[in-house]
Amino acid sequence: MSDELQTEEDAPVETGSPAADVVESAAPAAAAKPKAKAPAKRKAPAKPKAPAKGKTSKVKYVGPADQQNATLAQHGYRSVCEPGKVYELPVAVAAKVVKGSRHFEPVKPAK
């Protein structure tokens, strides 16, 4: 049970959200004590690290539908490319993707 709660990364426990209620009802022994705030101290699980700015590059897929890029799949995108969609990838990976296919164009960052 506690494992499930720890995965509720978006639930702000201290605000009395449904998730917090569940915590209290599921642990009656702990609720009787004045230190019921203990769950609030629980740290949210670490979110996936967002790529640092300046270290990513955007590429736009301008090819036809039904084309499958294995590299995109490895970086969390659907493996079938969506025409017109912009993908944000590590710089080296973006360069590799652009080099491998004419259907990817580098997207210049807006100034």
Partner 1 sequence: MSRVDAVGLAYQATFGTEETTMEYWIPVETADVNENPTDLSIQETIGNRFATALDRGTRFFDVPMAGALRAVSGVRLFSGFICQPVAAGSGPYTHTMDPTVADAAPVFHSAFAVRNDPISVGQDPIVDLFYDMLGNQLDVTINANDYVKFNAAWIALNVDGDQDAPDVTADASPKLKFDEVVVSTSVDDGTSWVALLAAAAGITYQNNLDTDEAVLGSRALYALPYGNADAQVTFTARSDMLTWYRAALAADPTDVSVKMVCTGATPYIFSVLLASVQEITAPAPISGADVLKGIDVTATAHLDSLGAGPNANKFLTAVFTNSTATYPGP
58-69: burial string, b at 16+ Cβ within 10 Å, e else = ebbbebeeeeeb
**Bridge partners, residue 59, by sequence:** 87, 106
Closest CA to 89 of 101, 73, 67, 102: 73
User: Based on CB atoms, which residue is closest to partner 1, 12 or 83?
Assistant: 83
| Least CB distance to partner 1 at residue 77 (A) | 12
Query: Between 43 and 82, how does the x/- string for binding to partner 1 read (CB under 8 A)?
Result: --------------------xxxxxxxxx--------xx-
User: Based on CB atoms, which residue is closest to partner 1, 13 or 97?
Assistant: 97
Cβ(59)–Cβ(98) below 8 Å: yes
- Does 101 engage in binding with partner 1 (CB under 8 A)? yes
Contact stretch for partner 1 (CB under 8 A) within 10-18, 31-39, 47-55, 90-98: 90-98
Kindly report the backbone phi and psi dihedral angles of residue 3, in degrees, each rounded to the nearest multiple of 5, phi listed first.
-60, -40
Kindly report the backbone phi and psi dihedral angles of residue 52, in degrees, each rounded to the nearest multiple of 5, phi listed first.
-65, 145
| Least CB distance to partner 1 at residue 9 (A) | 32
- Does 84 engage in binding with partner 1 (CB under 8 A)? no
Residues that bind partner 1 (CB under 8 A): 63-71, 80-81, 96-104
